[in-house]
Amino acid sequence: MVDFNRFTLANGLKVLVHEDPTTPMAVLNILYDVGARDEDPEKTGFAHLFEHLMFGGSVNVPNYDEPLQRVGGENNAFTSNDITNYYITLPAENIETAFWLESDRMLSLAFSEKSLETQRNVVSEEFKQRYLNQPYGDVWLKLRPLAYKKHAYRWATIGKELSHIENATMDDVKAFFKKHYTPQNAILVVGGNVKTAYVKEMAEKWFEPIPAGDKYVRDLIQEDLQTESRNETVKANVPLNAIYMAFKMPGRLNSDYYAFDLLSDILSRGQSSRLYNSLLKEQKLFSDINAYISSSLDAGLFIIEGKLVEGVTIETAEKAIWAELDKLKAEVVTDNELTKVKNKVESVLVFSEMSLLDKAMNLAYYELLGDAELLNQEAVEFLKVTAEDIKRISNETFGREKSSTLYYLTEKHA
Amino acid sequence: MLNRQLAPDFKQVSTINFIQPTQQALNNSIPVYTIYSGEQDLVRIEFIFNNVNWNVEKPLQAIAVSAMLNNGTSKLSAKDIAEQIDFYGAFFQTEYVQDHSTVTLYTLNKHLASVLPIVKNVLADSQFPQAEIDIYIQNQKQKLQVNLQKNDILARKEFAHALFGDTAYGVDIQAKHYDELKREDLISYFRSAYAPDNCTIVVSGKFEEASFHLLNEQFGRNWELGKALKNKFNFSLVPRTAIYKDRPDALQSAIRIGKLAVNRTHEDFPGLQILNTVLGGYFGSRLMNNIREDKGYTYGIGSGISSLQDAGYLFIATEVGAEVCSAALTEIYKEIELLKNELVGEEELTLVKNYMLGSMLGSLENVFSHADKFKNIHFFGLGYDYYENYIKKVKSITAEEIRALAIKYFNKEDFTEVVVGKK
């Protein structure tokens, strides 16, 4: 159970407070409701590049990191297709420094040319390090445009290509800031050894004077229902053949979300899972096999990916995955198997409450979903899922005509 | 009127409280250290075994035993073990690092009595079925092939081998080592190492008297002694070596530079941690400021200081654009030389001190982190005065002391330099 208090400032900024007196630390987490899905298709990778620029100094504070380190704090951030999330952890008695720094960069950035130039390079190196210079690193750059034809999920957060990052201009940066980095578009969570009254006072002091800005109204093109199976083959300098299968599933707010989460657990959580036992251990077709969901806000993906044992043909491997999926469509899972994945989820939820930062991030994310209280309802939602639900969603999801399959083959077998 | 240019007041961290363990022993003398916290109804139990009986001819023995421990006993198949552990929502993890092999159980307390017997069965009676070994060998060889295409992993392997040779710290694992794995070697290693006389138990969480009895009932008896000779290595500085592995299509080059130093038991260690922080130990470090934030050569660069039972070492690691690799190397050495030649300024030093104290405070996030802090000192024979001294050192160190340490430890002629990619 993660307790919290909640209030909204005059400029629309939502503030949540989680009091945890067991730690001497505090966390200030701010979620901006903007991700790669909000980008212009010709300027992809921008939300993430922008995240880097948020550390390049703000209008009144030339350096973001130094003053924070000076008070014993640390920070980081991440960008996804849906959100951009920034967080600070620091000794609770110095929490005002976090309010000062975080509010100034919401007020306005310094928009330094030097910072833009450097971060273009840094992000280009990140693109190379994580996506281009790694075996299988570019899978998501291939799989997304195969699975999505219209929706902005067709590109990865890093962007479609290096040139989009290299061509980013200061005008782009300023426009993006004005459009998305407003109090109305953000959720602030303060957690740790803090009191709500003090947080309110600090929030009113540092954040409330920031102009509300214009409300960004999201109007994304949604994906059409997929009606044909899609296939693509790439060959690359990798040692092993691999297969990636993506199926459309509903967005995060759909009532079946929890059933999908458990379905991916049945297939692939831990060494008692179906894919691991059947395909890796018994049939010895894969040296590595996983299933997971993308958990995105708009219609997401159910992914199955595996690396093939040398000598196994890709057709055999694919057929074996389908056999497992067809089994889920034909037979209900046993009570025992369903209880097992539910028990596991129960544990995961309890253990996740041991991290202050995780609690703060989760509160912000669930508030974005509509109500932070949803976080505390999760366990109940998982318990509601029935074996019939699993069978039903398997039938709704695992159709050939809804699949996007990528063969990622080694050149040496070419 | 709010003055946003003025930083709010702040305080340096003054006190840091460590939760110290209570010590008990099982009937067969296995020491049990418990870091207690009653907040969540859960527990983590770690069974920690020294790595033993090092045999350079069989470098994978300890690694493979650790990885395959949950693959079957005389009573339970690999699948049975996984099914039962998962059914109770528990987590059973095995981990091999240079000095220890650890088996960790995470569970909600309500399932503790159900899962402990499974863990006992695994620790006392693993059988390493040949069929499972075959799958392990095949899949590990495939993983190795993928890893050998990653420049940073190649650089790490080359670096460790250059510093530590064919010891548990440095041996370069190749496909043939997997082919040579024999079931009898795994069984003999298992019987020697996974034994009560080579075991330390560290518990963290809500662990009360009744739970201790459950633990004692399972692990305090009916567990055979082993024949373990704890690994012991001796190392001396290797003269400067430059290793370059050309990777024709590389977009980036992985760089790893470093040398042997001292471990946690040496009086210089806390000072070296401070020196390391200035150089590359945090986001605002000199290496990050210069090579990422000023030049944009990399997504990240850092330095570290590592403490093993029989050695300590310093390293700098990064991946940089292939075309700027030489320039990055020049800048790295420039930063090292600067620390030897010039005093760290007062402002930077205060910042680093405050940052390190805040970071120490923040690293004690929950009961598990407190247990980790205990392990860091316990296996080096150190007590909590180590942390007292560390905090005192962070607060009091002078720029002159830091420079003296840089002069003592940053002799370029002692550095091993590995580059994998393009130069």
Contact A91 B13 (CB under 8 A): yes
Please count the structural domains in chain A. Answer: 2
Distance to chain A for B246, nearest Cα, Å: 14
Contact B294 A71 (CB under 8 A): no
What is the domain-level CATH number for residue B54? 3.30.830.10
Q: Is A310 on the interface with B (CB under 8 A)?
A: yes
Q: Assess whether B332 and B407 both reside in one domain.
A: yes
Instruction: Look at B294 and A118 and tell me if their CB atoms are within 8 Å.
Output: yes
Which one, of B217, B229, B204, lies nearest residue B28 by Cα?
B217
Q: Do B91 and A347 touch (CB under 8 A)?
A: yes
Confirm or reject contact between B368 and chain A (CB < 8 A).
yes
Residues of chain B positioned with their CB less than 8 A from the CB of A165 = none
Q: Is residue A211 part of a domain?
A: no
Give the closest of B5, B108, B355 to A350, CB-based. B108
Compute the half-sphere exposure of residue B16: CA atoms within 13 Å on the CB side of its CA. Answer: 27
Nearest chain A CA: its distance from B417 CA (Å): 20
Predicted confidence band of residue B227 (pLDDT cuts 50, 70, 90): confident
Q: Coil, helix or strand for A27?
A: strand
Residue A280's closest chain B neighbor by CA?
B135
> Are B214 and B245 within one domain?
no
Domain limits at B181? 22-219
Q: Which of A1, A55, A65, A70 to mutate to test the interface with B (most CBs of B within 10 A)?
A: A70
CA distance B245 to chain A (A): 15
- Domains of chain B: total: 2
Instruction: Indicate whether B16 belongs to any domain.
Output: no
Contact A238 B149 (CB under 8 A): yes
- B164 bridge partner residues: none
d(CA A394, CA A398): 6
Interface contact flag, B252 A119, Cβ < 8 Å:
no
> Does residue B164 sit in the same domain as residue B274?
no
Phi, psi for A179 (deg, rounded to 5):
-75, -40
Out of B2, B4, B354, closest to residue A71 by CB? B354
Show which of residues 169-188 on chain A sit within 8 Å of chain B, judged by CB atoms: none
Phi, psi for residue B312 in degrees, rounded to 5: -130, 155
Half-sphere exposure of A378 (CA within 13 A, CB side): 23
Burial class of residue A184 in the structure, from the number of CB atoms within 10 Å of its CB (0-12 exposed, 13-18 middle, 19+ buried)? middle
Which domain covers residue A271, as residue numbers? 230-413
Give the pair of three-digit tokens for residue A281: 């251990």
CA distances from B108 to B32, B120, B205, B236 (A): 19, 17, 10, 47
Q: Are residues A128 and A274 in the same domain?
A: no
Confidence at residue A166, expressed as pLDDT on a 0 to 100 scale = 92
> Distance between CA A246 and CA A248 in Å, rounded?
7
- Residue in A closest to B79 by C-alpha: A272
For the question of an ipTM over 0.85, the answer is yes
Query: How many angstroms separate the CA of residue A182 from the nearest CA in chain B?
Result: 18
Interface test with B, best of A276, A287, A339, A346 (most B CBs within 10 A): A287
Domain boundary among A172, A206, A240: A206
Chain B residue at shortest CA distance from A192: B365
Q: In this structure, are B62 and B189 located in the same domain?
A: yes
- A217 within domain boundaries: no
Residues B250 and B193 in one domain: no
B251 and B108, same structural domain?
Answer: no
Report the C-alpha dihedral over residues A197, A198, A199, A204, rounded to 10 degrees: 90
Contacts of B242 (CB under 8 A, 6+ apart): B416, B417, B418, B419
State which of B219, B251, B278 marks the end of a domain.
B219
Match 């919290």 to its residue by tokens.
Answer: A4
Other beta carbons within 10 Å of B305: 23
Looking at the DSSP bridge assignments, the partners of residue A89 are A27, A74
A137 and A284 together in one domain: no
Cα–Cα distance for residue pair A205/A191, rounded to 1 Å: 18
Instruction: State chain B's maximal CA–CA distance in angstroms.
Output: 77
For chain A, say whether B335 makes contact (Cβ under 8 Å).
no
Helix (H, G, I), strand (E, B) or coil at B180: coil
Closest residue, chain B, to A119 (C-alpha): B296
Same domain? For A116 and A251 the reply is no
Residues A184 and A288 in one domain: no
Nearest residue to B333 (alpha-carbon basis) of B411, B421, B400, B245: B411
pLDDT tens across the length of chain A (414 residues): 999 999 999 999 999 999 999 999 999 999 999 999 999 999 999 999 999 999 999 999 999 999 999 999 999 999 999 999 999 999 999 999 999 999 999 999 999 999 999 999 999 999 999 999 999 999 999 999 999 999 999 999 999 999 999 999 999 999 999 999 999 999 999 999 999 999 999 999 999 999 999 999 999 999 999 999 999 999 999 999 999 999 999 999 999 999 999 999 999 999 999 999 999 999 999 999 999 999 999 999 999 999 999 999 999 999 999 999 999 999 999 999 999 999 999 999 999 999 999 999 999 999 999 999 999 999 999 999 999 999 999 999 999 999 999 999 999 744
Residues from chain B contacting residue A73 (CB–CB below 8 Å): 355, 358
Contacts of A264 (CB under 8 A, 6+ apart): A291, A292, A293, A302
